[in-house]
Amino acid sequence: MKISVFGIGYVGAVTSACLCDTGHTVIAVDKDPVKVQCLNDGRSPIIEKDLDTLIKKYTDSGMLTATLDIKEAVAQSDISLICVGTPSREDGSLDLAYIEDVCQEMGEVIKTKDAYHTVVLRSTMVPGTAMDLCLPILEKASGKKAGKDFGFGNNPEFLRESTAIYDYYNPPKIVVGGIDEKSADMIMGLYEGIEAPRIKTDINVAEGVKYADNAWHAMKVGFANEIGNILSDCGVDSHKVMDIFCMDTKLNISTAYMKPGFAFGGSCLPKDVRAIRAKGKSTGLKTPIFDALLEANENQVTRAFEKIKASGKKHVGMMGLSFKSGTDDLRESPLVTLANQLLDAGFTLSVYDPNVFHASRVECANQNYINNVITHISKNLVETPEQLKEKSEIYVIGNNGEQFSKIIQSIDDTKIPVLDLVRIDPAIESREGYHGICW
Helix, strand or coil for residue 253? coil
The DSSP bridge partners found for residue 234 are none
Evaluate whether 349 touches 382 at the Cβ level (below 8 Å): no
Alpha helices in 234-346 (DSSP H): 238-247, 269-282, 288-310, 334-344
Using CA atoms, how far apart are residues 148 and 277, in angstroms rounded to an integer? 56
Distances (CA, A) of 79 to 16, 111, 340, 386: 13, 15, 57, 59
Using CA atoms, how far apart are residues 48 and 50, in angstroms rounded to an integer? 6
Using CA atoms, how far apart are residues 117 and 94, in angstroms rounded to an integer? 27
Question: Of 352, 370, 353, whose CA–CA distance to 361 is shortest?
Answer: 370
Strand order in the sheet with 174-178: 64-67, 25-29, 2-6, 79-82, 118-121, 151-154, 174-178, 198-201
Evaluate whether 5 touches 24 at the Cβ level (below 8 Å): no
Q: DSSP assignment of 149-178, as one string? A: TBEEEE------TTSHHHHHHS-S-EEEEE
Question: Of 13, 10, 37, 15, whose CA–CA distance to 120 is shortest?
Answer: 15
**Would strands 2-6 and 79-82 be described as parallel, antiparallel, or unpaired?**
parallel
83 is annotated as an active-site residue? no
Q: Quickly count: other Cβ atoms within 10 Å of residue 3's Cβ.
A: 22
Question: Of 422, 420, 430, whose CA–CA distance to 400 is shortest?
Answer: 422
Contacts of 337 (CB under 8 A, 6+ apart): 263, 301
Using CA atoms, how far apart are residues 111 and 143, in angstroms rounded to an integer? 6
Say which of 234, 268, 364, 438 is annotated catalytic: 268
245 torsion bin: left (phi>0), alpha (psi -120 to 50), beta (else): alpha
Using CA atoms, how far apart are residues 84 and 5, in angstroms rounded to an integer? 9
Q: Enumerate the active-site residues.
A: 268
